[in-house]
Amino acid sequence: MATEPSVLLFGSNGQLGWTFRQHLPAERLTVLDRQAADLANPEAIRAAIRTHRPDIILNAAAYTAVDKAQSEPELAHQINAVAPGVMAEEAQALGACLVHFSTDYVFAGEGTQPYKESDATGPLSVYGQTKLAGEQAVQQACARHLIFRTSWVVGEHGGNFMKTMLRLAAERDSLRVVADQYGVPTSARFLVQHSLAAVHHCLQQEAGHQAAPWGVYHLVPAGETTWHAYAQHVIGLAHAQGLPMKAKPEDVHPIRTEDYPLPAPRPKNSRLSTEKFQRAFGISLPAWQPSLPSVKTRTEL
């Protein structure tokens, strides 16, 4: 492998892909959006990888419309399960490594303890089921893989819960937000920085003829919160920065999951243990609050 490995990025226009583009040198990076490589077309994926022959494949693409997936299970399966499997097969054939991102939705969300990588999965939704199938396809086809399960992704680019809450708080006097689902907001910047550090560590281990810790990891910041408390936090930040908000943090009212029914069930416990990641890569993960994007990114909506 060259001293500076070449990178092929799928999903370049999403929250995560956009952030990868800000962190990787352009001369080493080839980006593919939906037009360049249709993830519902396995042959298009194979052709792209065989054309560019990268050292590292980053899969930041996914079918993430959780509720819509309930009525489009075939398309969700094609993008979330089949496509990563194809990438893994091609990576294995090339001798490349594959970095793939998964989700807390692979778990049923029971109990109150953080899930470990070795805990039994039990996805409640089509989205979670297809993401789990994608993990399994990657593990079976490519030896040099890193799969990062994460939760509640929030980026500077694209839509997300944080931007939605800030927009609604600017428009309304009060909000109702679910308060019985627990997890941790994970910034796209956090994911990119720490996943790239993990890749670098694995490649360095191999360069030194040592076993690299490829595998499945949970990657989220330290701490936990609820959607309700998260909304209060970001609205409080907006007020502190003098942004025009009609609703104050105390105007965000807690509700139960049952009070806000959606087509796809959500896990109530999305806590993920990161002990394995921190131990394998020697990285201490920071709290979630400081890594959030600036509340001023709401203007991108």
Q: What residues are labeled active site? A: 127
Q: Checking DSSP bridges between strand 182-183 and strand 225-226, what pairing results, if any? A: antiparallel
Q: Checking DSSP bridges between strand 186-187 and strand 97-103, what pairing results, if any? A: unpaired
Burial class of residue 19 in the structure, from the number of CB atoms within 10 Å of its CB (0-12 exposed, 13-18 middle, 19+ buried): buried
Q: Checking DSSP bridges between strand 7-10 and strand 145-150, what pairing results, if any? A: unpaired
Q: How far, rounded to the nearest angstrom, does the alpha carbon of residue 59 sit from its chain's CA centroid? A: 10
How many whole angstroms separate alpha carbon 168 and alpha carbon 176?
A: 10
Q: What single letter denotes the amino acid at residue 50?
A: R
Residue with tokens 């996914």: 62
Q: Checking DSSP bridges between strand 7-10 and strand 56-59, what pairing results, if any? A: parallel
Q: What single letter denotes the amino acid at residue 283?
A: I
* H/E element, 171: helix 161-171
Assign residue 264 a region (left: φ > 0; alpha: ψ between -120 and 50; beta: otherwise): beta
Contact of 54 with 7, CB cutoff 8 Å:
yes
